[in-house]
Amino acid sequence: MSEEVRPVDYTPDDNLVQPFLIERTGIRGRYVRLGTVLDTILERANLPDPVASLLGELVALGSLLGSTLKYDGIFTLQVKADGALKTMVSDMTSSGSLRGYVGYDAEAVTQLRQEVGDQPEDIVEWLGDGYMAFTVDQGENSERYQGMVELQGPRLADSLRHYFRQSQQINAGILVAVRRTEEGWRGGAVLLERLPDSAKGDVTDISEEDWRRALILMSSCTEEELVDPSISAERLIFRLFHEDGVRVFESQKLDSNCRCSREKVLNVVCSLPEDQVRELSHEDGSVTMKCEFCNTDYHLTPQELDALLQSKGASET
């Protein structure tokens, strides 16, 4: 709402998705702001700054896109590439739990940092050729939805805009920023959507002038403002769009709870051939498996491993 209808909450808030509506035009939007959740995801992986920054952008973008969908399960945003960064994954559960993982060539990243610095300006330099994939998984009894788009530079957000335009016939405006601050890693992102008319198969009657105006207002937001903990989500949205009236809706809280567990690790071990499991074992016969998302180690003693493999063999006979 505009300030005349209801006072804006100026209390800073983090780790949320805040939906809103520009009332005069009907343009929908979302603002994601990440504080401790993003810092937890990036710090526990002990990543070089430019790698952490790109993964942080993917986590923020995944939160934006995942929050626009109606699903009961897991939304995954994944990048596959042939550059210094090989794989990036961000996923979000329908309850708002976020995770992130990146696989990269450490030597290639070190070389790139010497050549272009620590602030990624063009994803082509870091990712090379590749694609971005979108997956919604609602469990065994539901069909998985998947979309895919080639990477478009110079920012990850450009690939997301291209996906909206080509696959969903939606015009989208996106801003994203990730910064390491004295308090830790912070991220912010804004999404504006110009939705198609389901009856006409075309965009709504929002005029080009109104759409351009909304994009201009959004672009007036600086990257520093996007991640600033002293500005509440509602305050920032009001600051950008109050001239056209803005209504905010109930926000969704986000957290960084990983879904890994010892039970899942045991299931993975059971799914592997015994000779492959033995190849993974240490000299003392134990096995340690690490969660790629949260870096938690799961250790199986030789006795536990033998008992598990014996139980697996018995169940297969």
Could you read off the pLDDT of 245-284 as tens digits, one per residue?
999 999 999 999 899 899 988 888 888 888 888 888 888 8
Across the range 82-111, mean pLDDT stands at: 96
Are domains 16-253 and 262-316 of this chain identical in fold? no
pLDDT value, residue 218 = 96
Rounded Cα distance between 237 and 241, Å, is 6
Q: pLDDT at residue 4 above 70?
A: no
Determine how many CB atoms are found less than 10 A away from the CB of residue 237: 24
Rounded Cα distance between 245 and 226, Å, is 20
Across the range 16-34, mean pLDDT stands at: 95
The fold of 262-316 is CBS domain Like (3.90.1280)
Q: Find, among 86, 17, 80, 89, the residue nearest to 58 by Cα.
A: 89
- Across 154-163, 196-205, 279-288, the highest mean pLDDT is recorded for 154-163
Asked if residue 44 lies in contact with residue 297, where contact means CB atoms within 8 angstroms, the answer is no
Assigned architecture for domain 16-253: 3-Layer(bab) Sandwich (3.55)
pLDDT value, residue 19 = 96
DSSP string, 168-180: S--EEEEEEEEEE
Determine how many CB atoms are found less than 10 A away from the CB of residue 131: 13
- Give the sign of the dihedral formed by CA 34, CA 225, CA 2, CA 20: negative
Q: pLDDT at residue 196 above 80?
A: no
Determine how many CB atoms are found less than 10 A away from the CB of residue 30: 22
Which residues 6+ apart lie within 8 Å of 105 measured at CB? 84, 85, 86
pLDDT value, residue 308 = 84
Across the range 161-189, mean pLDDT stands at: 88
Domain boundaries, given as residue ranges, for the chain: 16-253, 262-316
Asked if residue 78 lies in contact with residue 102, where contact means CB atoms within 8 angstroms, the answer is no
Determine how many CB atoms are found less than 10 A away from the CB of residue 153: 13
Place of tokens 């996106």: 174
Q: Of all helices (H) and strands (E), which one includes residue 146?
A: strand 145-150
Q: pLDDT at residue 2 above 80?
A: no
pTM of full prediction above 0.75:
yes
Rounded Cα distance between 78 and 75, Å, is 10
- The helix/strand/coil state of 277 is helix
Asked if residue 25 lies in contact with residue 33, where contact means CB atoms within 8 angstroms, the answer is no
Provide the residue count of the chain. Answer: 317
Identify which has the larger pLDDT, 108 or 140: 108
Determine how many CB atoms are found less than 10 A away from the CB of residue 234: 23
Q: In whole numbers, what is the pLDDT of the chain averaged over residues?
A: 87
